[in-house]
Structures are given as C-alpha cells and as structure tokens.
Amino acid sequence: MTAETQPTIAFFQELELAVLNTDYRSQPALVDRFIAAEFEEINNKGAITRREDVVTWLLNKEPGLAWVLSEFRIKPVNETVVTCIYRAKLSTDSADYRGSRRSSVWRQANGVWQMLFHQASKG
C-alpha cells in the first residue's frame, strides 16, 4: 500500500459505524455490500457465529441505536486486507462503561471493502 492509496483510519471507522448504525430493515441490500459471503464472527461469548446469524441480527436489530467507537486503530495486512481494532459501546451506555473490545478484518475486492471476520469481547 502506498501513502496515496492507503485508506485512512477515518475511512475504516466510517465503515464500522455504517455496519453498526445502518437500518437494514429499510435497506436490506446493504448487508451484502458490507458483509462478505464467507464472513465469520466470534461473538462476545466465544462462540463462532455464521454469516446467516449475523445477518439475522442486523436485519432485526433495533433501528436508531447509535454506536460510539474509541481507541480505533488499523493494521494493514497487505494492499487488500486491513484489520481494525477498537472499542464499541452504545451512545446510551453509562459514561464509565468503556465498551467491548472488537476487531474486524476487511478485504477489498473489485474496489469494494467488505467485512470478512469480526470478533467482540466483553470490556
């Protein structure tokens, strides 16, 4: 990745927020835009979750929830793969709650970045 072509921390933070904050009930096609076909997740209980389960959650989550991300950083693996590491919490969580630790792997194919893997851990 060159400095001219490398996506920024802000770019990936916007992608992560888009995944969390989008109302998929009104825009279900965006699931396929953001979530890769071979997506997997390790949830906050340590269980491996299939793409179908995550899609079901996204389609049925309460609309209007606003997420806040902090301690956001990226680790480029190569020109088409980037790992994001951050904390996430709902804007309605108490101020002393630091949020859950999260990591996501994003892959670019045909000019589109999609989430390939995600892991959430309790604070």
Among 96, 89, 122, 98, residue whose Cα is nearest residue 16? 89
- Pairwise CA distance, residues 115 & 82, whole Å: 10
Residue-wise pLDDT for 85-101, tens only, equals 999 998 888 877 888 99
- Pairwise CA distance, residues 25 & 81, whole Å: 29
| Domain-wise residue ranges, the chain | 9-121
Residue-wise pLDDT for 14-73, tens only, equals 999 999 999 999 999 999 999 999 999 998 889 999 999 999 999 998 888 889 999 999
What's the CATH number for 9-121?
Answer: 3.10.450.50
**What radius of gyration do the chain's Cα atoms show?**
14
